[in-house]
Amino acid sequence: MLFHLLARDLKLKYKRTALGYLWSLLNPILQLVLLGTVFSHVVRWQIKDYTLFLFSGLLVWNFFSTALISGAYAYLENEHFIRKIYLPKLMFPLSKVLFRLVDFLFSLLALSMLGWVLGYSLRPTMIWLPPAVLLLFFFVLGLSVVAAVLTAYFRDVQYLIQVGLQMLYFASPILYSIDIMPVHLQWVLRANPLCAFLLLFQEIIYVGQVPTLQQWGFAAGMTLLSMATGCLVLLYTEHKLVFRL
């Protein structure tokens, strides 16, 4: 069932577009070109290999934000099923996050290949990507469950999420590196839960270093926290949710 829910979203996404799945590739490429041009030639951040830097953070961000937004609609969108038959409520946010994960992995892989063709050398540290992706996945899943339940209870949340994401985008070291901030202000960025993951991916893809144990630990802590919250929320609302749809 999970598979068919996932297949539905994948099929619907690019249905009746001429380029189909290529869009999940073209979209980040266009973003990279646009942002890369603006921030390395117009704004002139002093960051070496800016496009590569951007790539390492932007994909993580795209996955995070799209999964959270579509996760938020998980229950509203499947209302017709939920109101008809009992189904484990985790299924719906899970299928949404998996759906975005497919996109994420696809663009990560394809863009790495493209980078390689264009002459960027692939970091050997990229073998550390799977555990990083796994942590990120569960982190996003926990948050998506919370977002989906909250949206079902309070429809206002869907708009709050969008505004919140926009704020988070600029408060995260995606376009700029964390080193740009004065050292005594860096804690502001580090307090942002997503930052742990951005640093993880930047370390692996851009810097080419194995993340320190502290970095892994921080990301894993965030994942645990997010999953624990998600599980609690689901335990508490699993049976009541249907009354709120």
Partner 1 sequence: MSTAKIDLEDVSVRFRRYNMRSHGIKEAAMRLFTKPSWQDKQEKVSEFWGLRGVNLSLREGDRLGIIGHNGAGKSTLLKIISRVYPPTMGKLTIEGRVAPLIEIGAGFSPELSGRENIYLSGTILGIRTKVLTQRLDSITSFSELGEFIDTPVKYYSSGMALRLAFTLATEIIPDILILDELYAGGDVSFIEKGNRRLDEFVHSSKILILVAHQMEYIQRFCNRVVVMERGQIIGEGKPHDVVPMYMAHMRGEKGVFGAELPA
CA distances from 239 to 135, 146, 150 (A): 28, 15, 14
The span of 2-10, 97-105, 167-175, 204-212 binding partner 1 (CB under 8 A) equals: 2-10
Residue 105: CA count within 13 A, CB half-sphere: 14
What lies within 8 Å, CB to CB, of 89 at 6+ separation is 75, 82, 234, 237, 238, 241
> Could you say which of 18, 46, 84, 167 contacts partner 1 (CB under 8 A)?
84
Q: How far apart are CA 234 and CA 223, in angstroms?
A: 16
As measured in angstroms, the least distance from the Cβ of 85 to partner 1 is 5
Q: x-or-dash pattern for partner 1, window 153-192, by CB under 8 A?
A: xxxxx-----------------------------------
As measured in angstroms, the least distance from the Cβ of 4 to partner 1 is 4
Q: How far apart are CA 92 and CA 2, in angstroms?
A: 8
As measured in angstroms, the least distance from the Cβ of 84 to partner 1 is 5
Tokens at 132, concatenated: 């990083």
In the complex with partner 1, the residue whose CB is nearer, 31 or 158, is 158
Query: Residue 92: what are its φ and ψ, rounded to 5°?
Result: -70, -50
Residue 82 binding partner 1, by CB under 8 A: yes
> Could you say which of 14, 21, 45, 81 contacts partner 1 (CB under 8 A)?
81
Site residues (vs partner 1, CB under 8 A): 1, 3-5, 7-8, 11-12, 15, 80-87, 153-157, 239-240, 242-243
